[in-house]
Amino acid sequence: MKIGMMSFAHMHAYSYAECLMGLENVELVGIFDDDVSRGEKVAEKFQTTHYAEQQAFLELEMDAVIICSENVRHKEMVFNAARAGKHILCEKPIATTARDAQEMIDVCEESDVILQIAFPVRFSPAIQHVKQLIDDGEIGEIIAFRSTNRGQNPGDWFVDEKQSGGGAVLDHTVHMVDIMRWYLGEEVVKVDAIVDSYFHGVTIDDAGLLTLEFENGVIASHDSSWSRFTEYPTWGDACLEVIGTKRTIKVDSFGEYLRMFTSGRKSLSHVLYGSDMDLGLINDFVDCIEKGREPSITGHDGLKALEVALAAYEAGEGACHFPK
Taking only the tens of pLDDT, the chain with its 324 residues reads: 999 999 999 999 999 999 999 999 999 999 999 999 999 999 999 999 999 999 999 999 999 999 999 999 999 999 999 999 999 999 999 999 999 999 999 999 999 999 999 999 999 999 999 999 999 999 999 999 999 999 999 999 999 999 999 999 999 999 999 999 999 999 999 999 999 999 998 999 999 999 999 999 999 999 999 999 888 878 889 999 999 999 999 999 887 778 888 887 788 887 877 779 999 999 999 999 999 999 999 999 999 999 999 999 998 755 555 554
Phi, psi of 321 (to 5 degrees): -100, 135
Cα torsion angle, 313, 227, 90, 120, sign: negative
- Transcribe 163-216 into DSSP letters: HHSSSHHHHHHHHHHHHHHHHH---EEEEEEEEE--SS--SS--EEEEEEEETT
CATH architecture, domain defined by 127-284+286-321: 2-Layer Sandwich (3.30)
**Greatest CA span in the chain, whole angstroms?**
57
Peptide bond into 154 cis (omega under 30): no
CATH architecture, domain defined by 2-113: 3-Layer(aba) Sandwich (3.40)
Non-local (6+) Cβ contacts of 187 within 8 A are 181, 214, 215, 304, 322
SS3 4: strand
Report the alpha-carbon distance of residue 274 to residue 270 in Å, rounded: 12
The predicted structure's pLDDT at residue 236: 84
Non-local (6+) Cβ contacts of 308 within 8 A are 173, 174, 177, 188, 191, 210, 212
**Structure letter (DSSP) for residue 139:** S
Distances (CA, A) of 46 to 18, 34, 36, 72: 8, 17, 15, 26
The pTM (predicted TM-score) of the whole model is: 0.93
Q: What residue ranges do the domains of the chain occupy?
A: 2-113, 127-284+286-321
